Structure 1
Amino acid sequence: MDASMLLAGPRGRRMLLLFALEASDAVEGDLNERVFAADLLLDPDPPTPVRMTSGGIELPENVFGHLAYMPLPAARRLDRNRASAPDPDAVSAAVERVVAAFDSTVLPDVSGEALAAALADAVSVARYWQPADGTDVLLAREELKDPLARVAERVAASPHADWWASPVAERSQHAMLWDGEDPVPPVDSSRTQLIELRRHLEEREKTARDEKWAGKVSAEWWSAPSWPITGPRTARLLPDGSPVGALLVEDDFGWEEGESIELEVPGGLRIFEIDGADAWVDLCRRFPIEVTEQKRGDWRRTTERDGPWVMPDWAAVAEEYDAVHLQVAAYLQAAGRALPVTDEAATVLAGWDPDATYWFTDRVRYVGERTRWVMNDDDKRIRWERDSG
């Protein structure tokens, strides 16, 4: 995995920041406070500070994946200016302070625990239906390129990140079951579900065009082959034996317990590997379906690009491939970006969890018993553990 992949997209850059905070114990230090101050200045829709304390304000845990604090006088000064555009000089000063804090942060050796925590938090704050938040705006600035590159080189060189650029683990595929649901049946041999998804997208495109609501409402912002079709979605197990599908979840519903079940994958299946942004673009170029009118509102807000949009026609993809796997490094590089497909059209990889594989064949089957998992965040780093009760 090349370090440049971690710098290209908003999810990769967010992971690098979170690793710097998590692994260096900077959570209580200058880097955290300065990023928060810059976030409030740059966020087009900043969150309302919550819970005043004697030392300042306390943020929700899901802002950076942990609790953060800022002196109350500074928070009040920032809050007064929220309704107006930030002063350019104030923004420049805030960014310079972040860069200085990055430069003074000593990065330790990469641990698997810290890397997993940073990755999970970066995935959990992904959003494709509104503008980038202040932290993502900050991390995309040119001034942050070199500080983030230092972190990217450290992460990319770690053996703990080797699996991020590996193909699907065919002998270790597990589906997550939430809220007591049953496993999703395999796609039938005629691929009825995928044909129905194509029909669904075509109908929504026509409705959006006829009713002229394109760009005015938030709709189905994902491009993964998920709802409303049904088909197995799986991911591998981590070295500690816990399922990746529990740890790395976009737009989750706050699940704190769930079950996993193994999916048996026979040899010889045709699996398309999304190993980078170019591979996703290639899939869209070879099997395009237009989604301009139905996706425009969400994808324009999150990418600031307006124009024709396409995504893969999954029914057409399934005629050539039995499954599609998204590598973690590719997710960090591509997710949330406007990626050109043709001179006119672009695409967005959205709503696809890292390492997830979608299966388009009835040759896979579930085996074994369900395993129950519970979330443990006692040390502020989320881990999934087998339910011993």
Structure 2
Amino acid sequence: MGIEGLTLAKISEMVGGTLKGDGDRVVTSITSPEAPCPGSISPLWEKKLEQDADPEAVLLTKEGWIREDGEGVEVEDPRRALVTLLEYFDTERTAELPEIHETAVISESAVIGEKVTIGPGCVVSAHCRIGDGCLLAGNVWLGKHVSVGENTQIEPGVVIYDRSSLGRNCIVHANAVVGCEGFGFMPDAEKGLLRIPQIGTAVIEDDVEIGVCSSIDRGTFGETRISKGTKIDSHVKIAHNCTVGEYCIIVAQTGLAGSSTLGNGVTMAAQSGVGNHAKVGDGVIAAGRAGITDDISPGSVVSGFPAIDHKADLRQTAALRQLPDLVKNVKRIEKKLGELKQEKE
């Protein structure tokens, strides 16, 4: 089913903006300002990109940025207004009629809420509870005693292990794994490496998003917890007994080692990491590839390995880049001193 177009007047009303031009113009898509197409609107909020915008583009932009003969909608925050339009045009999230596919395998002891969609090849094991309005796409596997909150969407290939729980309004993207066994081994005189049983749980609170192919281990004992509103990118690893605070952002290829803790509102940029038992305070920003090996105070911005204050790391990096020239200068000085010594002799 297609999405009905919006007039510019309606868009202006939706985003609280100012209409410029023909309010009856119908918008059916969103495109870049460099390559507009008929029926599209183009977001623009960076001044440096204004020169690249096609003169014919219908813009969603900042106040005063549309030329006199142009058309579009001006708003205080075009980026936030764009989100409103993207939500409207997001056909993949458009609700379908709920159904349970004939190939789904559902335990008799499972409790299924109202208006739930369970796609082909899904497995819902014993004593699972699935809240109202949930979506399980194809080949989702839910272990025993798994709880899924209302309106949560679970995409193809996701595995949720026994006793794990997901809150309301979560999104788990394709091939993510929640509640798997943690990586626990210890040296042993007889066996070489002794496997440590992992008998805990994984708890995912409300409004959490987990990216493609990310993995969240259950606790060795106790729990691994991801608090409400946190957004986890693709290919992220969160180990056993980690605690992640509210509204954190964890970007692709980041790893949290066992029993590490993130406070509220922490940002972990791409390929960053946190060592065992390290505690990262509220509001910390870890730059890309930062390696946190010790506790970090709230509000800090860190980078490098081991992670230190970002400005200090930049100074160190700048100094390192001067080393080749410094080595050349030292060699030149040594050569000159040698020549002076020979002259004296």
Output the TM-score relative to the length of structure 2.
0.21
Question: Which structure shows the bigger proportion of residues in helix conformation?
Answer: 1
User: Which structure is larger by alpha-carbon Rg, 1 or 2?
Assistant: 2
Question: Which structure shows the bigger proportion of residues in strand conformation?
Answer: 2
Output the TM-score relative to the length of structure 1.
0.19
